[in-house]
Structure 1
Amino acid sequence: MQTSRFAPLVPVLAVLGAVTSLAIGTSYAKQLFPLIGAQGTSALRVGFSALFLLLLWRPWRWHTSRIDAAAILRYGLTLGVMNLLFYMAIRTIPFGIAVAIEFTGPLAVAMWSSRRVIDFVWVGCTVVGLALLLPLGGAQSLDPIGVMYALGAAACWGLYIVFGKRASHLHAGHSVSLGLAAAALVVVPIGVAHAGSLLLNPKILLAGALVAVVSSAIPMSLEMMALKRLPKETFGILISMEPAVAALWAMLLLHEQLTGLQWLAIGCTVLASVGSTLTARRQPPPVIPAGA
């Protein structure tokens, strides 16, 4: 049977769909803030996401060693704090800008051990982007507290990558489902303390479940499908579009208008992420002994 000529586009569309779904879900989540706050909304998103993935993957079927459990716990707790800080950030600063600031976390991890000249170009792009966004000298109208939350989320994203690598030998369903369960241990108590019995309102529960599906379950499923069919470099380039996609959807759904300089800052972050992906040092293929 002849393969459709459109088949190579499917994983690309999956990544774009994941980024779009995440942006739409987060934009919708932000509309719950006046009712249950960023803390309550984050609790519903993480809590329902953990529940869905635990039911889907049933991680208790796999053996988890003490070392692996510690790695998953660190990874999950960091994931929970990252989600909470990001939602706290978008209370007071535009969604697209918060994503651009948060992206500096994985960029910092990617650049940390590099000493090549080209990588300092991408570091420079990141610094320029941050300089255009941060409220230095009163030149910007961004809320400083919101920016600090976004920078905290960026730091957590960097740690999340470091801790996640230590659990990367496990099945993705095993580590992610248990990781989100650990994240819920952080976020849900804070959300309950803030929003209280409002979280038990059936309409709010339904909205929270929808946020979890659209901003977590669908994007994660699409990304896993794409990763199996795309080179890591191509996947990284497509994911790098997330700040721009987030800003566009926030403009359409939340009416968040950005200035020309803020769009330029997001462009610098996207450029740094794409450039870092394209010029990343490739690991040489393993040498196979003769006769192996």
Structure 2
Amino acid sequence: MKYLISVFAGAISYGILSTIVVKAYAQGYQLGEVVGAQLLTGFILSWILAMYTKRRSRRPQNQTVSASATPSGFARLTWKQRLLLMLAGAPTVVTGLLYYQSLRYNPASLSIVLLFQFTWISVLIQAVITRRRPSNIMLWTLLILFGGTFLAAGIIGQGTTHFNGVGIIFGLLSAISYSLFILFSGKVVPSVHPTYRSAWMVTGGFVLLCILFPPHFLFNGMIWSSLMLFGFLLGLFGAFIPPLLFAIGVPRIGEAMAGILGAAELPVAVLLSTIVLHEDVNGLQWVGVVLILIGVTLPELYKLRGQNKKLIPS
């Protein structure tokens, strides 16, 4: 149960981000400043955790183990491996920049729905790469997702007058970027300890962001304003807590169940946009959110059902 709660809490943490970003924009902060403060916090916290975990792993479990032995997963990396991990972290920055930019133009409830289009985009990318037609269960899933998106976007009742074309494009691009992150991140140097992998990936993201948006806030005194509070909250709930909780829980409960629990991000984001940001989310939009959650969890439930059948002797 504690591993289920771990992954569920990680997903909830991701759902909090959009509300914090909108609040930061309301204070007058710009995109580069918001994401820069977030990644700075994530960079510091990730390396503190990595070094602490490495140091703790070096402690001998018994008298026959040397305290100077290299712990499993913390072997010295080559510069090529470090570069690969840093490159694997780049899509997370691109996703954050595109998603946060979408929040400037559209309501948070709509932006998170657009981001969740990564579900069918990932299926499409996999189908193109493998040159295989999606399974029937996946086609049904896509149909449910499209229907849920149509309702959750608020087209019925509100029409398209509350849409901003630029925001829609940024939201869909964030979904594509996130799909690419999912596709590549798990395949890069998988033997490295999760905390170490996360630290190098965050480092890569931070370096990329500093190139795109030079961190002037570090030198002009803005770092001591409320920007640091927003950055700390975004870094804590976006770049530190979820990767840590997922690293703890996912290996124990499996990727299928993790995918189901990870969908908690969507209702949390929509609920907070209603309560905290006072955005108008009607009943049909909530029905759409439920349909999207069903679409996300349906393939994972199907996988679990198949696994359970294999475990039961005939």
Q: What band does the TM-score fall into relative to the shorter chain? A: 0.7 to 0.9
CA drift at 1:93: 1.9
Report whether the alignment pairs 1:76 with 2:89: yes
CA drift at 1:115: 2.8
Query: What's 1:179 paired with?
Result: 201
Mapping of 1:216-235 within 5 angstroms?
Answer: 216-235=239-258
Distance 1:144 1:134 in 2: 15
C-alpha distance after superposition, 1:204-258 (max 9, x if no partner): 2233123311333222222222224323222211111221121012212211222
Report whether the alignment pairs 1:46 with 2:67: no
* Runs (5+) with no aligned partner, structure 1: 1-7, 285-292
Query: Which of 8, 12, 15 matches 2:4?
Result: 12
Pick which of 120-129 and 69-78 moved more: 69-78
SS of the residue 2:162 aligns to: coil
Q: Contact between 1:134 and 1:142, CA under 8 Å: does it hold in 2?
A: no
Query: What's 1:122 paired with?
Result: 141
Q: Cα distance 1:143–1:186, how it changes in 2: closer, same or farther (>3 A)?
A: same
TM-score by length of 1: 0.81
Report whether the alignment pairs 1:99 with 2:112: yes
Q: Cα distance 1:134–1:193, how it changes in 2: closer, same or farther (>3 A)?
A: farther
Query: Which of 9, 15, 18 matches 1:23?
Result: 15
SS of the residue 2:44 aligns to: helix
SS of the residue 2:31 aligns to: helix
Pick which of 239-248 and 105-114 moved more: 105-114
SS of the residue 2:105 aligns to: coil
Distance 1:50 1:207 in 2: 15
Q: Contact between 2:106 and 2:163, CA under 8 Å: does it hold in 1?
A: yes
Query: What's 2:70 paired with?
Result: none
SS of the residue 2:220 aligns to: helix
Query: What's 1:56 paired with?
Result: 49
Distance 1:191 1:282 in 2: 47
Distance 1:142 1:237 in 2: 29
Q: Cα distance 1:182–1:201, how it changes in 2: closer, same or farther (>3 A)?
A: same
Q: Cα distance 1:32–1:115, how it changes in 2: closer, same or farther (>3 A)?
A: closer
Distance 2:195 2:241 in 1: 14
SS of the residue 2:28 aligns to: helix
Query: What's 1:170 paired with?
Result: 192
CA drift at 1:164: 0.5
CA drift at 1:35: 2.4
**Larger radius of gyration between Structure 1 and Structure 2:** 2
Q: Alpha carbon RMSD of aligned pairs, Å?
A: 3.0
Query: What's 1:263 paired with?
Result: 286
Report whether the alignment pairs 1:279 with 2:292: no
C-alpha distance after superposition, 1:53-104 (max 9, x if no partner): 1232149x64223553343233111111111111111122222332222122
Distance 2:250 2:237 in 1: 19
Q: Cα distance 1:80–1:90, how it changes in 2: closer, same or farther (>3 A)?
A: same
Query: Which amino acid is 2:278 matched to?
Result: H
Query: Which of 158, 172, 175 matches 1:151?
Result: 172
Distance 1:83 1:184 in 2: 12
C-alpha distance after superposition, 1:120-166 (max 9, x if no partner): 00111222334443979x63512221111111111111110122022
Q: Contact between 1:96 and 1:244, CA under 8 Å: does it hold in 2?
A: no
Q: Cα distance 1:164–1:148, how it changes in 2: closer, same or farther (>3 A)?
A: same
